[in-house]
Structure formats: structure tokens, C-alpha cells
Copies of this chain bind each other. A is one copy, B any other.
Amino acid sequence: MRLSSMIFAVFALLSQAPAQTRSLAERLGYPADSKLLILHADDLAVAHAEDAASLDALDTRAVSSASIMIPCPWLTEVADYAKAHPDADLGLHLTLTSEWQSYRWGSVSPKDQVPSLFDPSGYLWPETGPAVEHIRVDEAEREIRAQVERAIAMGIHPTHLDSHMAVLFARPDLFAVYVKVAHEYKLPFLAVRDPNAPPALLATLSDKDIVPDAIVMANPRIAASDWKNFYATAIKNLKPGFTEIIVHLGHDDAELRAVTLNHPDYGAAWRQRDYDVITSPEFKKALEDNHVTLIHWSEIKKLLQ
């Protein structure tokens, strides 16, 4: 047996070993105790101010990954970026809600094929609660498949899936179709093995599914003055394993203020704060000082092929 064949055989043997015997870090070629971090911008395509800030953060590697709201008005802007940057780590932020007061959107599927996704005003439900109360699972599945197919038709090669406003994590049957579609397209997806989650939801995840050990996201209890400190503490507290930090990046301008009208939580100033912190030299230094390894969903996707 030639050396190259032997090496191939060893790799083949390794790849047949049960996934859980080797840490994700090892499978990706990093030391076993690495602090792996996906720094992830949500909500691309929702507004130009969101795209401008998020695509800038991708360009400067201030974030490692991002996901796109396919039903939203600025999809073409993001698809043009994706085509010009085929290595950009862009996933799909599967969207079954339309949450802002003055600026709304519908489904990708023809609306008569997914009527349970629509509120009485004729747009997607504005909140996770009524969405989860009204959405039929077959229509949710039709719509998330339509969003994946639309992304591909627009020239986007998604690296992962996640769920806008966590709608697809909020009912076990919705979670099941989310995982089913991810498996069919061989895409990794955001989830977390939270011991407090409903057993039916946890049972959907198999050992082969590679999901973060922890998810970190700013929340409305954090004062604006404490924003930097929140992220500095999050970086300091990162543990070996796989964490995703979710940020919402935007410019606090006339457009984004109008989009987020009357909703300071996740509003324009909030997104500007996220952008300012994430792109700051101090934040970059904190990642280095804490020996954080930024990874991409695309690396995890390769493990699934």
C-alpha cells in the first residue's frame, strides 16, 4: 500500500467513526479545547441601512457569518453581494413574521398557498405568539422550502439556516420541518440542545446535527451605557466549544428609524450600538486576548456533505 493510499484509508476510517467521539474543534482542524465562535449578523435584506452595516462588517471580518431574510424588500441588494463574494458565509434567516409598524412584507410562496401565514392586514404575522398560534405546519414547510429555492434562484448558496424571531423553535412540529428541510439541503442549522426545551423538540436533533453549545444575544434588559461591557463579558466568559453570538447591525439613519418606529428594542440606535461595538478595535483585541477562534457555518456545512 502506498503512503498516499494509507493516509486516505486512515481518513476514511476516521470519518466513519461516530461523530460525537471527536469534538467539533478537532473535526475542523483546531485544538480540542478551542473556543470556537460564529459571530453572526441577523436580518440582512430587511433594510438598506441593515445591509450597509452588515455587509461592511462581513467585508472587514468584524463578523464571520450572517443570514438573509428572503421575503424582504432588499433581497436583490444582498443577492448581488453574495454573487460578488462567493466565499461570504451567508445563510437564510427563515422568515415567517413581519414585525415592524410601518414597513411590512409577505411570503415568498403565493399567498393563497400559505394563507395561515398572513395576519388580517395581509402581511405576515407581526409577533412570534400569533404566528405560532395560527401557522399551519404544512404551509410553514411550503414557505421555508420556497425561501430556500428562491435564495438559490437568486444566486445565493446558503451555508446554513436559522429562524427569524425564533418562530421555528417555538413549536415542535415547526422545528421538525425546519430540521427536515435543513437535512434535505445538507445545511447546518441554528439550534441549541437546551435541557429546558420540550422533549419533542430535543428528540428531533440527532447526534450528527452540529449545533452551538451556547447562543449569546443582547437583550432589552441591557442599558445602552452597558453595551460594550455586555459584549466584553460575553467574550471573556466564552468556554471551549462552539458558541454563536448573534448581533443586529445597522446605521441609525432616517430609513432604519422609520423601519423600527416605536420599537427601541432591536431598533435603529440598538443596531448602531451593535455595529459600533462589534467593529471597534477593543472588541477585536478582546477576541485575540481571549484566544477566540472565529469560525464559519460554511466549515460546518463541509462536514455534512
Q: Which of B105, B112, B150 contacts A110 (CB 8 A)?
A: B112
Contacts of A122 in B (CB 8 A): 150, 153-154
Known contacts A74-B102, A105-B73, A254-B253; A48 and B110 CB within 8 A of each other: no
Whether a CB of chain B sits under 8 angstroms from the CB of A265 is no
Q: How many residues of A contact B (CB 8 A)?
A: 32
Interface-facing stretch out of A75-83, A166-174, A195-203, A281-289: A75-83
Whether a CB of chain B sits under 8 angstroms from the CB of A121 is yes
Which residues, 216 to 256 on A, are CB-close (under 8 Å) to B?
Answer: 251, 253-255
- Encoded as 1 (CB less than 8 Å from any B CB) or 0, chain A from 90 to 112 comes to 00000000000111110000111
Contacts of A251 in B (CB 8 A): 254
Whether a CB of chain B sits under 8 angstroms from the CB of A63 is no
Q: A76 contacts B48, CB within 8 Å? A: no
**CB-nearest residue of chain B to A106:** B106
Whether a CB of chain B sits under 8 angstroms from the CB of A192 is no
Contacts of A80 in B (CB 8 A): 102
Complex Cα–Cα for A74 and B74 (A): 13
Q: A47-B255, A254-B255 are in contact. List 4 more A-B contacts (CB 8 A).
A: A49-B255, A76-B101, A77-B103, A110-B112
A-B pairs, 9 with minimum CB distance: A255-B255, A77-B102, A110-B110, A110-B112, A48-B258, A73-B73, A110-B111, A76-B102, A48-B255
